Amino acid sequence: MDLPRTDTHRKLQLLDSRTGAATLKAIAEDECEKFIHSCYDPVREAESLVARCTCTGEGIIVVLGLGLGYHVAALAARFPTVTMIVVEALPECVPLARQVGLVDFDEERLTCLAGFNPDDALQEITERQISGGMPPLSLFTLPAAAGAFPDYYRPLQQQLEKSVSVNLAARLRYRKFRDEKRRVLLFDSGYFLTREVATALERSGCEVARLQFSADTPIGPLLARLAGTVATFRPDFCLTINHLGFDEEGIVTRFLESIELPAASWFVDSPELIVKGYGRNASPFTALFVWDTIYLDSMRRVGFDNVSYLPLGTDPELFRPLPSRAPEVARLAADVGFIGNSMTKPVKDKLSVVHPSLHGAVASLARRLSADRMPLEALFTNLASPLRQCLDALEPRERLDFEAAVTWQATLLYRQSCIARLHGFHPVIHGDNGWHTLLDDGFSIAPPLDYYRELPFFYNACTVNFNATNLQMGTAVNQRLFDVPACGGFLVTDHQESVEELFTVGKEIITYRDPTEIPDLIRYYLGHPSARDTVARRGRERVLRQHTYRHRLQALLQRMTDLYA
């Protein structure tokens, strides 16, 4: 019988075989007609194929290709206790298989994934394996289906064969923290701190492997790659930055929990804006490290039991004193310098996904936050009833977008008010074009600088480096407080609460508590080079003694050992 074309643009024919049993013909990927089952005796063919199946009779059998289901029925009869997941490229096969009546599609142990793209099918298989406690996996491929549609089945077959060949379920469960030398699997999305973290771990005596991925890597392939790496590398724990690589649904978290593999997530941006809606990621096998103490309680309320404070640091081999005569330093020379984002684009981007009716509330709350510099949680505590009710009605992702819009808008206003106080000191501002709209002709606006190739030269080149902290940091200090002193540079920064536990204020670092103090501080230290050099020298000594990435990763390693060894 001829079937109408569907979205897959494939034509199927249900025909009689020589024995009278139904068989199936399809227009394959190469536009040729191919039989999916034997045109002579499909029943005997299926029995012969299933007889060669190496499944142990336990766990999950993934069947690539449904056709009319002869082999599925034979597998069900031979292995009565296994779970079967059938992946079929053509959804039109399902009604034909139902018509033939060999397969009981209502049977609880059978799942049919028809018409899924390969990545989604792989994700579904992985999720079911995780939810089942990582049972052993077997693979059965219908040769004719794979031959007719190789572009569809080949990627699935290759990924699944890796899992089966390494006996993945057995190899994923092993004793962690057994050896003195720690093995760390580092999630690597290309984030700028990944290199420093890997180097610091290696300098601390760890063996490091990287799981590389990008923002658009589908969860299915990512999980398959993760499982394979865990099986071969056998890490003591995983480490990610800003929870990158973890999904909102908690699939990666459930996988790691199912094999009892701990994960450490170091937040060097606000966790409020990242995992507040990620409650499904909470797990006893996940430890969070936050750069700001204000997030300790809020992350515990989300459901994370193991939350520790871990501030930023620096790489002293990258950020180090350089000769003032070096061409790169001389080219960037400035009396006063600042590098940072104006926040105009982040504000615009966030407002575009916030409902226009809330834009006025964003502006009002941002003005208050920029003036009072309070934690976000405190800002939202005493809202007027109508606005509170409106925000409570938002979906978690919408609420996060609203809070991010407030934070970015407040940071824009705050940075603008601080940098405006540098007028008259011929400051050089390296950043985005948004600064042209915020500052007048008394400021020199220059392009952004590459963190690795140019920023160390700039910190060495400025007589006074200036800092105005992003307001996502309630009490914490940002990267400049470690990078600038590591270069032997002099820094004037706003006063954050945690700076007092990291430096001796007034001796190792100079701070302002109110923007009105900025001009007098800049004027004094530009005119007193000896005082400036003394502070810079002391600041560098403190950083080298306590605030490198090696110090931070050693603290993280000790905490993970205490929690999970």
Q: Where are the domains of the chain?
A: 46-168, 183-312, 327-547
**Helix 344-351 × helix 396-419 angle, to 10°:** 150
The sign of the torsion formed by the CA atoms of 328, 331, 334, 338 equals: negative
Contacts for 514-522: CB closer than 8 Å, 24+ residues apart: 515/417, 515/418, 515/421, 516/421, 518/418, 518/421, 518/422, 518/492, 519/421, 519/422, 519/424, 519/425, 521/492, 522/336, 522/422, 522/425, 522/464, 522/466, 522/492
Long-range contacts of 492-499 (CB under 8 A, 24+ apart): 492/464, 492/465, 492/466, 492/467, 492/518, 492/521, 492/522, 492/525, 493/466, 493/467, 493/468, 493/469, 494/418, 494/467, 494/468, 494/469, 496/469, 498/292, 498/293, 498/311
The third-level CATH classification (topology) of the domain covering 183-312 is Rossmann fold (3.40.50)
In this prediction, residue 167 carries a pLDDT of: 57
**10-residue mean pLDDT series, the chain (565 residues):** 39 91 93 93 95 86 96 94 94 93 91 91 82 81 95 91 65 87 96 93 96 88 85 94 91 89 94 73 94 91 93 96 92 96 95 95 94 80 84 87 94 96 95 94 93 96 96 90 98 96 97 96 98 98 98 97 95
CATH superfamily of domain region 327-547: Glycogen Phosphorylase B; (3.40.50.2000)
Q: Which helix (H) or strand (E) is 299 found in, with range?
A: helix 295-302
Single pTM value for the model: 0.76
Q: What is the pLDDT of residue 470?
A: 92
Residue range 46-168 in CATH 3.40.640.10: no
Helix (H) or strand (E) holding 364: helix 359-372
The reported pLDDT for the residue numbered 478 is 94
